[in-house]
Amino acid sequence: MIGYIARRVAMALPTLLLVGIAVFTLMRLIPGDPAQLMLGDAADADSLARLRERLGLDQALPLQFLRWLTQVVQGDFGHSITNGLAVLPLVWERFQVSAGIVLIAVALAALVAVPAGLLAAWRQNRPLDVIIVAGATLLLSIPSFWLGLLLLLLFGLKLGWLPVVGYVAMGDDFGQGLLYVLLPIITLVMIETGVLTRMSRASAIEVLRLEYVTHARAKGVPEWQVLLRHVLPNAFAPTLTLIGLILGNLLGGIAVLETVFTLPGLGRLLVDAIYARDYPVVQGVMLFTALIYVLINLIVDLCYPIFDPRVAAQ
Amino acid sequence: MVWTWKRYLDPATGWRCLPELDGRGMTKITAVEAPNAKTVVFKLERAAGLFLATMARADCGASAIYHRSSLGPDGKWKEPVGTGPYKLLEWKKGQYVDLQRFDGYASLPGPRDGYTGGKKAEVEKVRFMVIPDEAAAKAALYSGAIDVFPEARSADVAELKANPQAKVDVVPAMGMIALLIQTRDPLLKDARIRKALALALDMPEMASAVTDGLSKPNSSAIPSSSPFYSAVHATGFKRDIAQAKKLLAEAGYAGQPIKMLTNKRYTVCFDAAVLAQAMAAEAGIKIDLEVLDWATQLDRYTKGDYQTMAFTYSARLDPSLSYEMISGPKATQPRKVWDDAFVQTRLAESMQTSDRARRQTLFDELHRKMMDDVPIIVLFNGTDAVGMRKSLTGYKSWAAAKPRLWNVK
Amino acid sequence: MKLRMNALIGGVLIATMLSLALLALVWTPFDPMQLSLRAKLQPPSAAHWLGTDEFGRDVLSRAMAGAATSCLVAGLTVLFAVTTGTLIGVLTGFVRGWADRILMAFNDALLAFPGILLALGVMVVVGANKYGIIIALGLAYAPTVVRVVRGTVLSLREKEYVEASRMIGNPEWLTMWRHVLPNCIAPVAVLTTSMFGWVLLSESALSFLGLGVPPPAPTWGNMLASGRPYMQSAVWLGLVPGLCIALTLLGINLLGDAVRDRLDPRMSRA
């Protein structure tokens, strides 16, 4: 088991290195100088040169890359150009915000979606199924940021029930913190429920057709037992893969929601850093995200055999 | 105060404005002395009319004076001890800065004059919140989450005024929105084409539309709120499509597309470019817009790599500085739009002398030359619109556009 | 029954959007770029069915022109992603050893690359226009196609007719072309329909963040972004493009379901 994990992580290393090089090169290729941005239009050549020197931007590119790489391997992701904060703690802090919202939202969505999909599959092609599928399709067709905006308009501005801007960590003040993340979570839940319901329904349909289900029914096992004990675990596996994929992609795509709800999350950090040409932060976020991506895939692959004995046998 | 200035002048601390004052720039501060507790004497190597103005520059940190107890024994920042009515409580980078009233503060009595008169910290705590998104900040003002919104867009002013819980304070700012033209460009090096572009624009309409009626058009490099803004500077370009077409025909312009760079970060730049494109089209000038992100545009500006661009300059408090920001030798400073020996000599003189009348004459001459050469088409000066909750009293904006929160309840 | 309902509603939605898009190429009620500062921010009326925006431009015309641009960008992106993805996917499916490993490492790296950075980078090199977006999004989505195609090829590789083809001496590429490729069509077709929706969404998300096809040319995404500060005062500016995106996506999803059910009724994966 440990060997398997170690091998998977080792296989991911070349990918991570590639990502690091690609990000580094791409950022340097894009025109725009962070020192220039900080000094604005009143910059003169002298102060520009001094600032660049202070930030270490005047050295040869391969040298800069090597320096960064050696630091990373030792666990030091460098310091932000725009505000001097250490990158790794910054990334971690922002990650907690984004991850908190994403994980809660996906968990809630799964909680609703899996039973809903199961129900729809059980009553396939009957009115209940049609309604569930229609609802799910509708939900996943709505752009997340549009939904977020509309919800904000309604609950934040028109009704004034929820705060419109800012953020309080739930770790600091649970009650307050909850208010700030409620709307983004609701937005995400609505959309992901659509996606997951369809998936869960599809795989449940597959399983319901299988022989051992008909067999169990023929034996006289009560329907709810059939559903819960035979169908659910097996149908869940593909949904789990999808959850893994969603989690991976969501961390990137959440930037728009963070913009709408002004959350200090990872997506927003990346976008702002790109606009400010804050190289260390961009590189740090990128590397971190790639690592998380690898980890999620690994966890999903490890969980698979729990739900599908056929896979474990391989 | 002597201690602070010694620290500024020490090259190791990397003060932004040091090159101006250590002999490389306009002058050299040879000595800073305090003959008694209420007087400070600065000795300069040569006369510099811009000395005080440079000290006050925002990008120099306004030469803020702080006490030596701000630093720990190792020379690192401990807790800044300044000269104002508030002290720093907490700085959460990227999120907010908290200030707390300093009870030991005393100012000179009298009305607020922007200097040392009449400063009273009415509120206990002040928090500057970082909200990177304009729309969100506006929403926050409406919901009461914030009390003051200093950089409201001009488009929001009417809406803010109409809102029962908010009000607006508007003051002309000293920044400048302009269309820059690269005089080295093969097509645009012909001054007639540049002039035609200027004549094709409807300046009053442009200013009114982009700033929602808050700013008046201004074709001079000197902001209209400057004391040096004379009748000469008030004469700008008047729209004349016929004349524009005539100049274009003379220059042999055959409809070649002219690229104009702009960005979405500063809405004024974007709006101005869109309008310029539409207005120029009426004179037969074809403009293609290219929208870049701010960092890229700034890069192109610094390198001089553009045909035209819609650009915004930050506030310059003295006319010499205004002209300095647009003129200079392109060989060493490619970002400058105006490279002309005549201009250089006049500008240098204006920086040396402190004779007001003489400076006015020089600035007038510079303006007339600018109207002929058209290296840049200045559109208007920005307006600072501050949105605030109706319950707030005592707030007054000022030209340098930085919020002042004393005397405010 | 359900199949026909899906196809019907989906088809109607898509057909409407497409026809509006095509119509926009030759005619719109007003010029989408025509400014009219006196007519700024007007709510929907008889003259302007969907109102005007902050520059006085007609929203309906812009929405139509936006349909054309968004559909074009999405269509070309999907074409680019599917073509390159399929070719590479088939290639990696057949090739083995370290060549395969390297290709897949690159593929995974591309997959993990954040779309925003890729978009900004590509657009800076190519220029801030729709071709930049097409290349950037195409590069972002091609790896998914590669994964799917590769999976299919790997499972097909051991099938009898492929073995047979090899045994009679057909070169590798002929086997690929004649036997493997046609069988990839079904899963790729399914993926394509979903991808169209993802790309549409990505394009609008990028525009919303400030990248994407830059204004003043309208796309639904940048219309949504421009309309955001006016959500309180001129809500139709944000409502219209969002609705367009949602309806189009709905149509794509419904139609996609119908296509999927047709092609492989057993494999009704979402």
**According to the model, what pLDDT value does residue A306 have?**
63
Would the CB atoms of B289 and C216 count as touching at under 8 Å? Answer: yes
Which of A82, A164, A256 to probe the B interface (max B CBs under 10 A)?
A164
pLDDT-derived band of residue B248, with 50, 70 and 90 as boundaries? very high
Residues in B closer than 8 angstroms to C37, CB to CB, are: 205, 209
Average of per-residue pLDDT across C101-117: 76
Of the candidates A26, A130, A256, the beta carbon closest to that of C117 is on A26
Would the CB atoms of C117 and A286 count as touching at under 8 Å? Answer: yes
pLDDT-derived band of residue A211, with 50, 70 and 90 as boundaries? low
**According to the model, what pLDDT value does residue B133 have?**
65
Would the CB atoms of B19 and A31 count as touching at under 8 Å? Answer: no
Count chain A–chain C contacts defined by CB atoms under 8 A. 124
Would the CB atoms of A40 and B332 count as touching at under 8 Å? Answer: no
**According to the model, what pLDDT value does residue B143 have?**
72
Which of C101, C106, C154, C209 to probe the A interface (max A CBs under 10 A)?
C209
Residues in B closer than 8 angstroms to A164, CB to CB, are: 136, 139-140, 142-143, 145
pLDDT averaged over every residue in chain A: 79
Output DSSP code: residue B95: T
- Joined together, the tokens standing for residue A15 give 């990918």
Amino acid A131 reads I
pLDDT digits (tens, 9 = 90+) for A274-311: 888 888 888 888 888 878 877 777 777 777 666 555 55
pLDDT averaged over every residue in chain B: 80
Which of A131, A142, A153 to probe the C interface (max C CBs under 10 A)?
A142
Residues in A closer than 8 angstroms to B129, CB to CB, are: 166
pLDDT exceeding 70 applies to what percent of chain A?
Answer: 87
In order of A100, B214, C200, the CA distances from A143 in angstroms are: 21, 36, 10
Contacts for C98 with CB less than 8 Å, ≥ 6 apart: none
pLDDT-derived band of residue B146, with 50, 70 and 90 as boundaries? confident
B296 three-class SS = helix
CB atoms closer than 10 angstroms to residue A297: 19
What distance in Å separates the CA atoms of residue B315 and residue B173, rounded to the nearest whole number? 7
pLDDT exceeding 70 applies to what percent of chain C?
Answer: 91
More confident residue, B123 or B332: B332
pLDDT digits (tens, 9 = 90+) for A113-136: 888 888 888 777 778 888 888 888
B300 at A interface, C-beta within 8 A: yes
Amino acid B360 reads Q
Average of per-residue pLDDT across B196-214: 88
| B377 phi, psi to nearest 5 deg | -110, 105
- Within chain B, what is the greatest distance between any pair of CA atoms? 72
C-beta separation of B325 from A58 below 8 A: no
Residues 325-364 of B with CB under 8 A from A: 325, 332-333
CA distance B400 to chain C (A): 26
**According to the model, what pLDDT value does residue A18 have?**
81
pLDDT-derived band of residue C217, with 50, 70 and 90 as boundaries? confident
Taking each helix axis from N to C terminus, what angle separates A279-307 and A2-29, rounded to the nearest 10 degrees?
150
| pLDDT for residue C81 is more than 90 | yes
CA distance B27 to chain C (A): 42
C38 at B interface, C-beta within 8 A: no
CA distance C198 to chain B (A): 25
**According to the model, what pLDDT value does residue C270 have?**
38
Compute the 3-state secondary structure of chain A and give helix, strand, coil in percent, each to the nearest 5: 80, 0, 20
B293 at C interface, C-beta within 8 A: yes
Classify burial at A29, counting beta carbons within 10 Å of its beta carbon; exposed 0-12, middle 13-18, buried 19 or more: exposed
B177 at C interface, C-beta within 8 A: no
Classify burial at B37, counting beta carbons within 10 Å of its beta carbon; exposed 0-12, middle 13-18, buried 19 or more: exposed
pLDDT-derived band of residue C269, with 50, 70 and 90 as boundaries? very low
More confident residue, B341 or C163: B341
Nearest CA in chain C to A138: C250
**According to the model, what pLDDT value does residue A96 have?**
87
- Joined together, the tokens standing for residue C94 give 């057949």
**According to the model, what pLDDT value does residue B19 have?**
65
pLDDT-derived band of residue C96, with 50, 70 and 90 as boundaries? confident
What's the pTM? 0.78
| pLDDT for residue C153 is more than 80 | no
In this structure, the strands spanning B287-292 and B258-263 are parallel
**According to the model, what pLDDT value does residue A314 have?**
42
Nearest CA in chain B to C227: B135
Contacts for A236 with CB less than 8 Å, ≥ 6 apart: A114, A200, A203, A307
C172 at A interface, C-beta within 8 A: no
Residues 294-313 of A with CB under 8 A from C: 294
B256 three-class SS = coil
Residue A115 preceded by cis peptide, ω within 30: no
CA distance C55 to chain B (A): 9
Q: With b meaning 16 or more CB within 10 Å and e meaning fewer, what string describes A114-149?
A: bebbbbbbbebeeeebbebbbebbbbbbbbbbbbbb
Which of B10, B13, B16, B98 to probe the A interface (max A CBs under 10 A)?
B16
B298 at C interface, C-beta within 8 A: no
Would the CB atoms of A15 and C209 count as touching at under 8 Å? Answer: no
What distance in Å separates the CA atoms of residue B351 and residue B370, rounded to the nearest whole number? 18
**According to the model, what pLDDT value does residue B38 have?**
73
- Joined together, the tokens standing for residue B372 give 């002929």
**According to the model, what pLDDT value does residue C2 have?**
55
Residues in B closer than 8 angstroms to A47, CB to CB, are: 16, 19
B155 at C interface, C-beta within 8 A: yes
Residues in C closer than 8 angstroms to A157, CB to CB, are: 232
Nearest CA in chain A to B333: A45
Average of per-residue pLDDT across C225-235: 80
**According to the model, what pLDDT value does residue A67 have?**
84
pLDDT digits (tens, 9 = 90+) for B273-321: 989 998 998 899 999 888 888 888 888 898 889 999 999 988 887 888 8
What distance in Å separates the CA atoms of residue A130 and residue C1, rounded to the nearest whole number? 11
Among the residue ranges A148-152, B65-69, B197-201, B330-334, the one predicted with the least confidence is B65-69
Nearest CA in chain B to C210: B264
A157 at C interface, C-beta within 8 A: yes
Average of per-residue pLDDT across C176-198: 77
What distance in Å separates the CA atoms of residue B89 and residue B108, rounded to the nearest whole number? 25
CA distance A306 to chain B (A): 43
Expressed in angstroms, the distance from the first to the final Cα of chain B is: 31
Average of per-residue pLDDT across B191-210: 91
| pLDDT for residue B4 is more than 60 | yes
Would the CB atoms of C233 and B159 count as touching at under 8 Å? Answer: yes
CA distance C37 to chain B (A): 7
**According to the model, what pLDDT value does residue C132 have?**
84
**According to the model, what pLDDT value does residue C268 have?**
41
CA distance C257 to chain A (A): 10
| pLDDT for residue A257 is more than 70 | yes
- A80: closest CA among A285, A253, A258? A285
Amino acid C228 reads R
Which of A15, A199, A257, A314 to probe the C interface (max C CBs under 10 A)?
A15
Of the candidates A145, A157, A274, the beta carbon closest to that of C232 is on A157
Name the neighbours of A, counting chains with at least 3 Cβ pairs within 8 A: B, C
What distance in Å separates the CA atoms of residue C79 and residue C145, rounded to the nearest whole number? 11
C-beta separation of A76 from B350 below 8 A: no
pLDDT averaged over every residue in chain C: 80
**According to the model, what pLDDT value does residue A313 have?**
45
**According to the model, what pLDDT value does residue C147 have?**
81
**According to the model, what pLDDT value does residue C267 have?**
44
More confident residue, B252 or B106: B252
Can you give the C-alpha Rg of chain A in angstroms? 24
Residues in C closer than 8 angstroms to A146, CB to CB, are: 224, 238, 242, 245-246
Average of per-residue pLDDT across B111-134: 69
DSSP A261-280: HT---HHHHHHHHHHTT-HH
DSSP chain C: -HHHHHHHHHHHHHHHHHHHHHHHHH--SS-TT---GGGTTPPS-SSSTT-B-TTS-BHHHHHHHHHHHHHHHHHHHHHHHHHHHHHHHHHHHH--HHHHHHHHHHHHHHHHS-HHHHHHHHHHHH-SSHHHHHHHHHHHHHHHHHHHHHHHHHHHTTSHHHHHHHHTT--HHHHIIIIIHHHHHHHHHHHHHHHHHHHHHHHHHHHHHT-SSPTTS--HHHHHHHHGGGTTT-THHHHHHHHHHHHHHHHHHHHHHHHHHHH-TT----
